[in-house]
Amino acid sequence: MCLERPALYQQSEVNFWNDKHISKQMLAAHLNPDFDGASRKLCFIDRSVKWIAETIPFSNHPRLLDIGCGPGLYAERFCKMGYTVTGLDFSRRSIEYAKDSADRQDLDITYIYQDYLKMNYSNMFDLATFIYCDYGALSTKNRAIILRKIYQTLKIGGKLVLDVFSMVKYNDFEEIKTWNVHEHGGFWSAEKYLSLKAQYKYPDNVTLEQTAVITNSGIREYCIWNCCFTLEILLKEASEAGFGKFEVFSDVTGKSYTENSPTIAVVLEKSS
């Protein structure tokens, strides 16, 4: 299996968000304030929340849904700014951490353990955030599903803040194959393992990082897909989901849009 280039959007055999060992590594990555791995660095998150609160203030957009909220780094900051926050994530470990952290700080945040592709809310939220390029990790079909669900979730006049990787990222991506022995375990397994990693480029700006993890117990394979976007493609998908108005930035701190930025951020509005 690891010898072949997988079919487009072939999924990992295991849901790694809830794997006991991997979810622990993932949470540690989220909580590392100086690492851009699972969440962005805390200084970026602070600037991002400040910009969102200034441009879409809680006074006219009070109810906020943070989609793929992880351990609540954004959700807590939004709550402290005055929003009524619901955070939703499919990692049980992240949601448990987020709930404990909110309790410790006496923050009134609703956290929901759920697959965002299965969420079903109608006209409930004034503002939704879907941050750190998770949109591009979805297949074309699932991107259409999530954008329609978010549209349905929002009230008229409600806004979505969303970011994706741009073509800069796709153009820099190299098709390479590497292997490593992890004597004392590592990100993918607690036991000693050999990792075989292959990076592939696919048509339509899609990339794959495929990792085969070989331990004494067997072989597991993980696929991390990413679609990179031109502004035109992103806005086409947004308009197909029903969003009528948009603003464009380079990132979710509100930096002016340029084609050279590795990310594109949009604020989409449900206008009717």
Ligand X SMILES: C[S@@+](CC[C@H](N)C(=O)[O-])C[C@H]1O[C@@H](n2cnc3c(N)ncnc32)[C@H](O)[C@@H]1O
101 in contact with ligand X (CB under 6 A): no
Residue placing its CB nearer to ligand X in the complex, 2 or 145: 145
Beta strands 193-202 and 206-215: pairing type? antiparallel
From 2, 9, 17, 231, residue interacting with ligand X (rule: CB under 6 A): 17
How many Cβ atoms are within 10 Å of 17's Cβ, its own excluded? 16
Residue 262: half-sphere exposure toward Cβ, Cα within 13 Å: 6
| Minimum distance from residue 77 beta carbon to ligand X (Å) | 11
From 52, 53, 56, 73, residue interacting with ligand X (rule: CB under 6 A): 73
From 38, 160, 212, 213, residue interacting with ligand X (rule: CB under 6 A): 38
- 192 has which bridge partners? none
147 in contact with ligand X (CB under 6 A): no
From 25, 56, 70, 237, residue interacting with ligand X (rule: CB under 6 A): 70
115 in contact with ligand X (CB under 6 A): yes
Residue placing its CB nearer to ligand X in the complex, 193 or 225: 225
From 25, 91, 207, 210, residue interacting with ligand X (rule: CB under 6 A): 91
From 51, 52, 87, 89, residue interacting with ligand X (rule: CB under 6 A): 89
From 68, 87, 136, 158, residue interacting with ligand X (rule: CB under 6 A): 68
* DSSP state string for the chain: -TTSPPPTTPPPSS-GGG-HHHHHHHHHHHH-TT--SSS--HHHHHHHHHHHHHHS-TTT--EEEEET-TTTHHHHHHHHHT-EEEEEES-HHHHHHHHHHHHHTT---EEEE--GGG----S-EEEEEE-SS-GGGS-HHHHHHHHHHHHHHEEEEEEEEEEEEBHHHHHH----EEEEEETT--SS-SS-EEEEEEEEEETTTEEEEEEEEEETTEEEEEEEEEE-B-HHHHHHHHHHTT--EEEEESSTT-PBP-TT-SEEEEEEE---
From 6, 16, 39, 193, residue interacting with ligand X (rule: CB under 6 A): 39
Q: Which stretch binds ligand X (CB under 6 A): 51-59, 113-121, 184-192, 201-209?
A: 113-121
Q: Which stretch binds ligand X (CB under 6 A): 52-60, 114-122, 176-184, 204-212?
A: 114-122
134 in contact with ligand X (CB under 6 A): yes
132 in contact with ligand X (CB under 6 A): yes
Q: Which stretch binds ligand X (CB under 6 A): 8-16, 99-107, 130-138, 204-212?
A: 130-138
Tell me the CA end-to-end span of the chain in Å, nearest whole number.
Answer: 48
From 51, 83, 116, 187, residue interacting with ligand X (rule: CB under 6 A): 116
The site for ligand X (CB under 6 A) is made up of 17, 38-39, 68-70, 73-74, 89-91, 94, 115-117, 131-132, 134
